[in-house]
Amino acid sequence: MKPFTTFTSIAAPLPEADVDTDIIFPARFLLLLDREGLGRHLFHERRRPAEGAPPFVLDTPPYDRAEILVTGPNFGTGSSREQAVWALADFGIRVVIAPRFGEIFFSNCFRNGLLPIVLGEAEHGAVMRAAEAGEKVSVDLEAQRIVLADGAAIGFAIDSYRRRALLLGLDEIGAILADDAADIAAFEARQKAATPWLHLSREQLSHFDDLRTSEA
């Protein structure tokens, strides 16, 4: 994963509640397991509006370059499909801001290098208004704050473990290896000493094959 630091981007407004994972990434594309290219199926139905309907926000300049998505409450509810997050990331979204998220979607974001930010009603409203005005928004994960174009700073909370993993660009396995490498090495050494027969080399194992052959 890419380390997450500070960046500034246009924020795309999606002031809609209860956008579930089937809207984000329809079920008929779930057999696509390669993450690369999934962004073209992001919000598939919304990005193919009926004739005469306005285009979807992510297909409308300047929001087609957005790295931040500002949504209504309960974003990412529904099924646990991780492809919803993969598609957002492949499209170029790095941050999703909402009053509430689907629990599994929220966790999947951190596993895949996206930052989901939960804001209170007043703070979320300020960011949504900035997005609707086409203003750029800055997100500083290290300082845990959002800075709007008028200079207003909005703090946000994040679990310290998840914050560190995003800052370092670590997935769950990478974070475990970074934090517990010494303990893992010590455990492996104890296991090797307690069960040496499980750690024989191929050459040592072939010796037992030779013994069985000679006994036969």
Place 215 in a pLDDT band, splitting at 50, 70 and 90: low
Place of tokens 């966790």: 107
Helix (H, G, I), strand (E, B) or coil at 197: helix
Question: To which H or E segment does residue 203 belong?
Answer: helix 202-215
Q: In what order do the strands lie in the sheet with 153-155?
A: 115-118, 95-98, 68-71, 6-14, 136-140, 145-147, 153-155
Place 209 in a pLDDT band, splitting at 50, 70 and 90: low
pLDDT at position 37 is 93
Residue-range domains of the chain with CATH:
6-168 (3.20.19.10), 172-215 (no CATH)
169 close to 4: Cβ distance less than 8 angstroms: yes
Q: What is the pLDDT of residues 4-29, one digit of tens each?
A: 888 899 999 999 999 999 999 999 99
pLDDT at position 5 is 82
Q: How far is CA 107 from the centre of its chain?
A: 8
End-to-end CA distance of the chain: 55
Query: Which of 40-49, 69-78, 182-191 has the least mean pLDDT?
Result: 182-191
CA distances from 100 to 46, 62, 97 (A): 21, 26, 9
What is the rounded distance in angstroms from the CA atom of residue 160 to the CA atom of residue 167? Answer: 10
Burial of 18 (0-12, 13-18, 19+ CB in 10 A): middle
Nearest CA among 72, 100, 105 for reference residue 88: 105
Helix (H, G, I), strand (E, B) or coil at 205: helix
pLDDT at position 48 is 87
116 close to 96: Cβ distance less than 8 angstroms: yes
